[in-house]
Structure 1
């Protein structure tokens, strides 16, 4: 198996793709790991938070870029301290390549979860949190499949348990590894 110490593994996909659960389970399986939840950086804004919507207001886009910068810097900090940083966030479209460039730690790994839209709908109904707002499952699925650069390992985890998805990620780390 590839050595993941001092590495950053970034996990993305649409909301309800399984990112949080898979990232947590992956971090739990590693000997020394931190789970960096990108959405925490959005929630740290106490006043003046602008939600990112399909209209892409300038302030909302600036806050999203700040969130990405902070989570990448945090992941790098954990990696410098000898931890594997497992980052999970919704990072779609051209932002995917931009985010991966923000990560300075080496090695870097990237995983995109792409369950079928009907599976996301079903998962969304069973979630306590509702995160879509102005976004639809279909619009986010299109942003993943059509607009996101094909970097890293892409997994259709529609028919997998979270542990099976973690198994597949660990078995395919060479495909998930990004060039140094």
Structure 2
């Protein structure tokens, strides 16, 4: 199912995001299974690698907490790029919403990101309307991943101007 991009030897980068961790991971895994060569990179797993000094993920957004979010996303993107360089599509899954979606995409630049936003009642209302938004309905993770692949062009977010 993989389509050739600008560098056919390099895998694509996907981001599956939304506030419901169980749904997000299920869709990411299902999507990865539907691709020819793929890996899932879970931001929560990366966050769990911090053994001491880890900031809580809830509460007020302090400078240190924001720094750890950026560290988490940078590490997830570094792992994703390692897979992509070997020709695997990388499906990153994390709760990246609101104004932070732009921060994540800035870290991913100049990579094109296939963005899937799982709409949920607790999704931050200021989340930019980029990528493919999938309604929180009664679809299974497999049905959602099929929908994503059927609308792959709608997921594409270009993070850098062609130059």
| Structure with a larger share of its residues in helix | 1
- Decide which of 110, 133, 137 is 1:158's aligned counterpart: 137
1:80–1:105 distance in 2 versus 1, CA, 3 Å: farther
For 2:66 and 2:111, locate their aligned partners in 1 and report how far apart those are by CA, in whole Å: 27
- What's the offset of the Cα at 1:177? 0.9
- Residue 147 of structure 2 corresponds to residue 168 of structure 1: yes
For 1:112 and 1:92, locate their aligned partners in 2 and report how far apart those are by CA, in whole Å: 9
Moved over 2 A (4+): 104-108
For 1:166 and 1:7, locate their aligned partners in 2 and report how far apart those are by CA, in whole Å: 15
Q: 2:27 is matched with which residue?
A: 22
1:9–1:162 distance in 2 versus 1, CA, 3 Å: same
Q: Secondary structure at the match of 1:109?
A: strand
C-alpha RMSD of the superposition: 1.9
Kept in 2, the 8 Å contact 1:73–1:103? The answer is: no
Normalised by the length of structure 1, the TM-score is 0.78
- What's the offset of the Cα at 1:171? 0.5
Q: 1:58 is matched with which residue?
A: 63
Q: What whole-Å deviation, never above 9, does each CA across 1:108-160 have from its counterpart, x for those lacking one?
A: 21010013x3xxxxxxxxxxxxxxxxxxxxxxx251xx111111001103221
Where structure 2 has 5 or more consecutive residues not aligned to the other structure, the ranges are 5-9
Where structure 1 has 5 or more consecutive residues not aligned to the other structure, the ranges are 118-140
For 2:21 and 2:14, locate their aligned partners in 1 and report how far apart those are by CA, in whole Å: 19
